[in-house]
Structure 1
Amino acid sequence: MQRCKNGMKLDDLRTLIAIAQHGSFRAAASALDIPPTTLSRRLQRLEDTLGSQLVIRDSRNVSLTPLGRNYFERCQPLLAQLEIATAELHDRSHSEPRGALRVSAPVGLLTYRLMPLFNRFLALYPEISLSLTHLSNQHHDYSPEQYDVVFRVGQQPDSSFAAANIGESQRVLVASPDYLAGHGVPAHPDDLNGHARLASVPEFEWALTNQKDNQETIWINSPVKMAIADLNSIKQATIEGLGIACLPNYVVADALAAGQLSAMMSDWYSPPRPIYMLYQRLGYVPAHIQIFTDFMRDALDNGGQAKTVK
């Protein structure tokens, strides 16, 4: 454990900084990945070392004393600089990029767009590992403490992540040829109300805009026959003739090419949704994370043909 000349441990200083940044013991302990009891013990040790109370604790709030606030404001940038210098020196000492990547992505985007690129990246950089333990497109279930890189579809709320627009998801109305032969081909969005709709959760409503008059948008919110969170399951149900679905083009491209699905109503389109790669905004970014984000940005900009970044 790192220790300063006066006996103060750097982990104790990190504890104070985390409390100041997160505003509660529980959130600070989670950010540091330590039990709250350990966090409380480190703070007490820091206060004992300095001979000053730094934090005011009560049953509802946690706040810094004036001395604690002054100490935090002076020490936080110094510790950040120390950690940046240490990390840069460590990275330069390793010629081969190495490290663990924690990534979150939606299932459909992962399956049809990202996974082949992840496989290629890992083959190029054998000392880097990748963990995909959370497959979701929810906009409020990620933080820099949990993930290094997050992929999401749709507009993103403000967060501590930087957001790079790496493409778009264009949805297509599709059904199997057998379904259309038996139920008729809808010619107008209003006709969809009389058909079985297969919807991906939470996309229960479909917005369709007229190609010739972008001012006209019709919302389809009739009851759905089937709602599933997995895009591939919706695709398979559509191929089997259970109804009409509105799915991303990258999910149905192979089925359209094979004749398993047919697109319809070419005069109407579902407004495209942006695809974002989110990553750490501030401070030092470890080399293996920077290499990964550069690789993914280049790969998606070049239609999947990534440049090697070393």
Structure 2
Amino acid sequence: MDKLRKMALYCRVVELGSFVAAAQDQNVSPAIVGRHVSDLEAMLKVRLINRTTRSMEVTEVGHRYYQGCKISLAQLAALEQDMTNEEGEALSGIIRLAAPEGLGAPHLLSAIESFQGFYPNILFDLVLDNGQTDFISENVDLSIRLAISMQDSSLIVRKLTDTRLCFYAAPSYLAKHGTPKKLEDLDQHACLAFGASRFGDSWPIVTDMGLSKYRLPWRVVVNQTQFYRKALMKGMGIGLLPEIMVAEQAEDGSLTPLSLDVTLPEVGIYAVYPNREFQPKRVSLFLKHLAERFGKVE
């Protein structure tokens, strides 16, 4: 077994949390797994995993080595695939894509469907989650994020498009409680907050001092877009969401956009991916496809 195979096996031990689980995953014996991890430790002259008969703990240097192994193995796989594709074979493989659950349907599903029309052998593992993406531990190729501004990081960031924030309420709520005209009017209304926003229990507004947080005694706080929209559609109150996530409801009239005398920030939609020298061809093609669909072609 060569060093690359040892590295891949070591990664499975770290990811699955045990030598036995990694052995079952790779269809080898636990003794073989242990021997090859020991081989790596001997070559590196460091302890990667502290183990007893009942438990194992990855050391600090073991975690750093795991992250480096994942990047190196991914770069090699991408390079090999690109070489294969140059021989004229059809593109294939899996794209693991992370995104906020509010963008899953219909936007990303539609993009995936149209992309697979061109490349039917490329499969998708779609992870819908409003949290931050750990590219290494979650083995993610590409992440879609919504943000007013992107913080500096070691990741590559590409803006796909912008969307506006807007206040929404159900026609039934407005018929019963009236339509607010000013931001201060919201004090007299039931308001719902989206808890998964990085602003938490506040709404972002633009003032003369810049971006500020506006907080009310929320009637309900929800951390999933689907349930947040449903709560608004049931007439439970007024909420704030990006227009792209409420386009269908605004079009069919189940939610009404509200114009208040307040300036709201634009939200950027970004594609984010690790800083890899060799990005898989399938990922770069899908990224281009997304940019075309969102109208921001480089």
How would you bin the TM-score normalised by the shorter chain? Answer: 0.7 to 0.9
2:268 is paired with a residue whose SS is strand
> How far apart are the structure 2 equivalents of 1:79 and 1:265?
51
Same amino acid, percent of matched pairs:
25
2:246 is paired with a residue whose SS is helix
In structure 2, the residue matched to 1:209 is 206
Pairwise CA distance, 1:279: 1.9
Specify whether residues 149 and 114 from structure 1 end up closer, same or farther in structure 2 by C-alpha distance, changes over 3 A only: same
In structure 1, the residue matched to 2:129 is 136
Is it true that 1:224 corresponds to 2:218 in the alignment?
Answer: yes
In structure 2, the residue matched to 1:196 is 190
Worse-matched range after superposition: 153-162 or 222-231: 153-162
In structure 2, the residue matched to 1:299 is 293
Q: 2:87 aligns with which of 74, 89, 93?
A: 93
> How far apart are the structure 1 equivalents of 2:114 and 2:74?
34
In structure 1, the residue matched to 2:26 is none
Compare relative contact order (CA 8 Å, sep 6+) and give the higher one, 1 or 2.
2
Aligned positions of 1:34-53 closer than 5 A:
34=22, 40-46=34-40
Letter in structure 2 aligned against 1:234: Y
Unaligned runs of 5+ in 1: 4-8, 19-24, 70-77
1:187 is paired with a residue whose SS is coil
Letter in structure 2 aligned against 1:261: L
- Normalization by structure 2: what TM-score? 0.74
1:274 is paired with a residue whose SS is strand
In structure 2, the residue matched to 1:55 is 46
In structure 2, the residue matched to 1:127 is 121
In structure 2, the residue matched to 1:148 is 141
2:250 is paired with a residue whose SS is helix
> How far apart are the structure 1 equivalents of 2:129 and 2:162?
17
Pairwise CA distance, 1:266: 4.2
- 1:24-73 deviations in whole A, cap 9, x for unaligned? x947989xx957x766532433566xxx6622579695659xxxx9xxxx
1:242 is paired with a residue whose SS is coil
Q: Which has the larger radius of gyration?
A: 1
Pairwise CA distance, 1:285: 1.7
Is it true that 1:234 corresponds to 2:228 in the alignment?
Answer: yes
In structure 2, the residue matched to 1:173 is 167
> How far apart are the structure 2 equivalents of 1:240 and 1:53?
61
Q: What is the aligned residue count? A: 275
Unaligned runs of 5+ in 2: 24-29, 51-56, 66-71
> How far apart are the structure 2 equivalents of 1:270 and 1:264?
12
- Normalization by structure 1: what TM-score? 0.71
Work out whether residues 145 and 269 of structure 2, in 8 Å CA contact, stay in contact via their aligned partners in 1: yes
> How far apart are the structure 1 equivalents of 2:60 and 2:134?
25
